[in-house]
Amino acid sequence: MKVLVLGGGGREHALCWAIAKSPVLTKLWCAPGNAGISQVAECVSFDILDPDVVVSVCKDMEIDLLVVGPEAPLETGVSDAARTAGINVFGPSKAAAMLETSKTFTKQICDACGAPTAKYASFDDADAAKSYIRDQGAPIVVKADGLAAGKGVVVATNEDEALDAVDLIFDGPGGGSVVIEEMMEGEEASFFVVTDGETIIPLAGAQDHKRARDGDKGPNTGGMGAYSPAPAFTAALQTRATEEIAKPILAEMAKRGTPYSGVLYVGLMLTEEGPKLVEINARFGDPECQCILPRLKTDLLPLLTACAKGDISDVSLDWSDETCLTVVMAAKGYPGDYEKDTVIGFVERADDIKGVEVFHAGTRMEQTVLVSAGGRVLGITALGRDVEQARNRAYDAASQIEWPEGFYRSDIGWRAL
């Protein structure tokens, strides 16, 4: 099989790494890829957001399967264009990806199907939003309604903070609409299922670390580390999240004539009353993907292919009982301003440790030297019999890498220990 993966982050490195192990693979391309991905796939460069360009590349390369990693190409209609052109695509349609691209839409779906989530109201007028905040009081959560790379959410502990957040959103580039939510309390978990629109295969749960610094301090990021499985997300909670949240949402999408196919990321708050939905993403989590795929003992490619062809009912998956943990190394300053093109040394020393995989995110080769090319740069990933062993291995590996311009959190996994 010839496969093309779109994207160039740590998630896509993990996907390419897993796909590259498949005995049915004959050729793997990735666009744009990164320095790590180039060790398992041929990296190619073209505009992955342009549906016509992607379709024409797929035809030229005679691709058997297109795997869309990030959400942006879903929003521009790449998966729809490819499907219309007869290409097998792993990735939901633009209409189904609205579960990620519009928070108001997802809330309406939850209302319609009864999936538990925070009480909310949507506004496209700043004054109305502010008066609602004054009515409700703090703590309260203010969200920009649209894609904001994890940076459009303010969990406000007082009213002024919430009111300021409204101004920021209405004055910002995204312009105009907000969702205001009740604050939910509990531990968060990321749960993933693969679905063809009808059959649902639960993958695994994971816990991410969204804040930039130790102790869950500092600004929100795309994610600074994760582990899977997450002890707090028990088998019983996974069953509830599947039955009470994933299934009804997918049934509602099908009922509306926009069935969801692909991987569904169910972001949960594990509250005292049970799991409640925080957000849906129309893709694998990053870095969650990096710590989930190494636990999958079954070949990933037949699952992706069956899903793209619309029927996963014959697929079954086998998982390792081990824990996998990923520590993200990011450029100093991330998620704010940071330097690029700084030299990273001795990654192979980390990679050579048994049970360790270093997934690359923002990296590229400058001649024969590995340099940084983004905010999140490496995902040091290790398997172990439990969180403690996986974590020790990941941190041992991280300490081998020489990158003075980088940083990482030293407490990934703290909730589970």
Q: How far is the CB of 272 from ligand GLY (least distance, A)?
A: 24
Q: Which pairing describes strands 153-156 and 178-182: parallel, antiparallel, or unpaired?
A: unpaired
Candidate segments 4-12, 108-116, 149-157, 399-407, binder of ligand AMP by CB under 6 A: 149-157
Asked if 259 is part of the footprint of ligand GLY (rule: CB under 6 A), the reply reads no
Asked if 286 is part of the footprint of ligand GLY (rule: CB under 6 A), the reply reads yes
Query: What does 285 bind: ligand GLY, ligand AMP, none (CB cut-off 5 to 8 Å by kind)?
Result: ligand GLY
Query: What does 61 bind: ligand AMP, ligand GLY, none (CB cut-off 5 to 8 Å by kind)?
Result: none
Asked if 285 is part of the footprint of ligand GLY (rule: CB under 6 A), the reply reads yes
Asked if 379 is part of the footprint of ligand GLY (rule: CB under 6 A), the reply reads no
Cα separation, 345 vs 149, whole angstroms:
29
Cα separation, 165 vs 74, whole angstroms:
28
Asked if 267 is part of the footprint of ligand AMP (rule: CB under 6 A), the reply reads yes
Candidate segments 182-190, 232-240, 257-265, 354-362, binder of ligand AMP by CB under 6 A: 182-190
Q: How far is the CB of 181 from ligand AMP (least distance, A)?
A: 4
Q: Which of 37, 58, 36, 54 is nearest to 46 (CA)?
A: 54
CB-CB contact of 347 with 356 (8 Å): no
The DSSP bridge partners found for residue 213 are 217
In degrees, rounded to 5, the angle at the alpha carbon of residue 394 between the alpha carbons of residues 392 and 396 is 65
Query: What does 244 bind: ligand GLY, ligand AMP, none (CB cut-off 5 to 8 Å by kind)?
Result: none
Q: Would you give the DSSP letter of residue 163? A: H
Asked if 118 is part of the footprint of ligand AMP (rule: CB under 6 A), the reply reads yes
Cα separation, 280 vs 101, whole angstroms:
9
What token pair was written down for 191? Answer: 């749960």
CB-CB contact of 68 with 89 (8 Å): yes
The residue within the footprint of ligand GLY, chosen from 288, 299, 357, 405 (CB under 6 A), is 288
What token pair was written down for 362? Answer: 């923002």
Q: How far is the CB of 312 from ligand AMP (least distance, A)?
A: 26
Asked if 288 is part of the footprint of ligand AMP (rule: CB under 6 A), the reply reads no
The residue within the footprint of ligand AMP, chosen from 18, 184, 382, 390 (CB under 6 A), is 184
The position carrying tokens 């309604």 is 145
Q: How far is the CB of 7 from ligand GLY (least distance, A)?
A: 12
Asked if 196 is part of the footprint of ligand GLY (rule: CB under 6 A), the reply reads no
Cα separation, 330 vs 344, whole angstroms:
11
Q: How far is the CB of 185 from ligand AMP (least distance, A)?
A: 7
Cα separation, 121 vs 133, whole angstroms:
10
Q: Which of 129, 73, 119, 114 is nearest to 97 (CA)?
A: 73
Candidate segments 27-35, 228-236, 285-293, 314-322, binder of ligand GLY by CB under 6 A: 285-293
In degrees, rounded to 5, the angle at the alpha carbon of residue 133 between the alpha carbons of residues 132 and 134 is 90
The residue within the footprint of ligand GLY, chosen from 51, 223, 225, 262 (CB under 6 A), is 223
Asked if 18 is part of the footprint of ligand AMP (rule: CB under 6 A), the reply reads no
- CB neighbourhood size of 131 (10 A): 12
Cα→Cα distances 41→17, 28, 38, 44, 293, Å: 8, 5, 5, 9, 17
Q: Which pairing describes strands 65-68 and 89-90: parallel, antiparallel, or unpaired?
A: parallel
Q: Which is nearer to ligand GLY, 11 or 94 (CB)?
A: 11
The residue within the footprint of ligand AMP, chosen from 54, 226, 278, 394 (CB under 6 A), is 278
Kindly identify the residues of this chain, within the stretch 125-164, that bind ligand GLY according to CB under 6 A: 150
Q: How far is the CB of 206 from ligand GLY (least distance, A)?
A: 9
CB-CB contact of 193 with 248 (8 Å): no
The DSSP bridge partners found for residue 186 are none
> For the chain, how big is the Rg over CA atoms in Å?
21
Query: What does 281 bind: ligand GLY, ligand AMP, none (CB cut-off 5 to 8 Å by kind)?
Result: ligand GLY
Q: How far is the CB of 186 from ligand AMP (least distance, A)?
A: 8
The residue within the footprint of ligand GLY, chosen from 75, 80, 181, 208 (CB under 6 A), is 208
Residues forming the site for ligand GLY (CB under 6 A): 150, 208, 222-223, 281, 285-286, 288
Residues forming the site for ligand AMP (CB under 6 A): 118, 141, 143, 150, 153, 155, 181, 183-184, 188, 210, 267, 278-279
